[in-house]
């Protein structure tokens, strides 16, 4: 009996390291991926391409250090993030409201869908001239462009989520005596959440891509402005610092968003998938 007990106890002793690796694996994969990326970048910029056109990461890092120490880069990051957040929230909220109505009411969808299909192919970059005319070169024009880059992605996904509510759930709620309002709030809206979350992730990337051209053409601060001024002075290293910062901020924002969704909607999303 004691031998059996020892054999059975062995897996539990080995379990903690395996669990620890499960938690550390995503971080290890990110570190490994970034290491490979920077190593390839260093080799290509040193031996294949002109280092004045594509500076190696060591030079980019050396350029970034004084910008970090002086707080210059953080000032531009903060200004751009505020613009992105305001435009993204406005576009997301309005898109969800419109998407729920259009997905639920066929007559409204038939009426507005052609207009949406026409307008959604106008990129935020194409809307810069009209945004400057309408709102000037102040903050409202940046908010509008972020809003424009966010709205249609969330809208299309919200409509799809509402329209694709499983019929079985709808019929089951009816059989249980649920009213149309209860079905809408407790069946239709929850079923659309995975689509809405997907639309928000795509829209978030679009929001970051929208703010850069807006700040390049009509701003005196922000990461787009940093890109523009660095390009005018042919400061390639500073250009790459700005590009790396934009990519890093977008990556971190997406990871935080995914973490928040997994933490708050983990059980719910698993239930929706299973059913």
**Is the confidence at residue 18, as pLDDT, over 60?**
no
CA–CA separation, 191 vs 258, rounded Å? 18
Alpha helix ranges (H) inside the chain: 2-47, 57-70, 72-104, 106-119, 128-135, 139-163, 167-175, 180-183, 189-217, 223-232, 236-274
Predicted local distance difference test score (pLDDT) of residue 164 = 81
- pLDDT: is 155 or 194 the higher one? 155
DSSP helix/strand/coil, 231: helix
Which long-range contacts does 113-122 make (Cβ < 8 Å, 24+ apart)?
A: 116/152, 116/155, 116/156, 119/152, 120/152, 120/155, 120/156, 122/148
Split at pLDDT 50, 70, 90, the class of 4 is: very low
Q: Percent of the chain scored above 70 by pLDDT?
A: 87
Tokens 């601060």 appear where?
Answer: 221
CA–CA separation, 203 vs 92, rounded Å? 8
Does residue 160 contact residue 202 with C-beta atoms inside 8 Å? Answer: no
Split at pLDDT 50, 70, 90, the class of 274 is: low
CA–CA separation, 227 vs 150, rounded Å? 23
- Residue ranges covered by each domain of the chain: 1-48, 55-274
CA–CA separation, 21 vs 24, rounded Å? 5
Q: What is the fold of 55-274? A: MetI-like fold (1.10.3720)
Task: Report which of 193, 170, 194 is spatially closest to residue 182, judged by C-alpha positions.
Answer: 170
Measured in whole angstroms, the distance separating CA 77 from the mean position of its chain's CA atoms is: 16
Predicted local distance difference test score (pLDDT) of residue 9 = 44
CA–CA separation, 209 vs 216, rounded Å? 12
Does residue 163 contact residue 103 with C-beta atoms inside 8 Å? Answer: yes
Predicted local distance difference test score (pLDDT) of residue 19 = 66
Enter the pTM of the model. 0.78
Does residue 145 contact residue 127 with C-beta atoms inside 8 Å? Answer: yes
DSSP string, 48-109: TS-TTTS--HHHHHHHHHHHHHHTHHHHHHHHHHHHHHHHHHHHHHHHHHHHHHHHH-HHHH
What pLDDT digit, counting tens, does each position of 87-104 carry? 999 999 999 999 999 988
CA end-to-end span of the chain, whole Å? 45
What pLDDT digit, counting tens, does each position of 165-185 carry? 777 777 777 777 777 777 777
Does residue 161 contact residue 192 with C-beta atoms inside 8 Å? Answer: yes
Predicted local distance difference test score (pLDDT) of residue 97 = 92
Predicted local distance difference test score (pLDDT) of residue 224 = 86
Predicted local distance difference test score (pLDDT) of residue 95 = 95
Task: Report which of 145, 161, 162, 128 is spatially closest to residue 90, judged by C-alpha positions.
Answer: 145
């Amino acid at each position: 009996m004691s031998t059996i007990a020892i054999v059975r106890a062995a897996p539990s002793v080995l379990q903690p390291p395996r669990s620890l690796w499960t938690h550390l694996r995503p971080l290890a994969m990110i570190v490994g991926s970034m290491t490979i990326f920077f190593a390839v970048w260093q080799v290509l910029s040193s031996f294949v391409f002109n280092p004045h056109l594509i500076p190696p990461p060591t030079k980019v890092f050396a350029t970034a250090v004084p910008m970090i120490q002086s707080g210059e880069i953080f000032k531009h990051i903060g200004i751009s993030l505020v613009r992105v957040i305001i435009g993204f929230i406005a576009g997301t909220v309005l898109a969800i409201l419109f998407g729920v109505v259009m997905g639920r009411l066929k007559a409204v969808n038939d009426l507005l869908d052609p207009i949406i299909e026409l307008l959604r192919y106008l990129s935020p970059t194409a809307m810069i001239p009209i945004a400057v005319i309408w709102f000037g070169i102040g903050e409202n024009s940046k908010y509008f462009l972020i809003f424009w880059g966010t709205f249609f992605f969330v809208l299309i996904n919200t409509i799809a989520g509402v329209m694709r509510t499983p019929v079985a759930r709808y019929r089951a709620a009816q059989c249980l005596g649920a009213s149309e309002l209860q079905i809408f709030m407790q069946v239709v809206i929850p079923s659309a959440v995975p689509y809405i979350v997907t639309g928000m992730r795509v829209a978030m990337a679009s929001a970051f891509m929208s703010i850069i051209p807006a700040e390049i053409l009509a701003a005196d601060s922000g990461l787009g402005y940093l890109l523009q001024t660095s390009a005018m002075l042919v400061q390639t290293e500073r250009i790459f610092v700005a590009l790396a910062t934009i990519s890093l901020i977008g990556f971190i924002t997406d990871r935080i968003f995914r973490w928040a969704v997994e933490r708050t909607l983990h059980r719910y999303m698993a239930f929706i998938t299973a059913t």
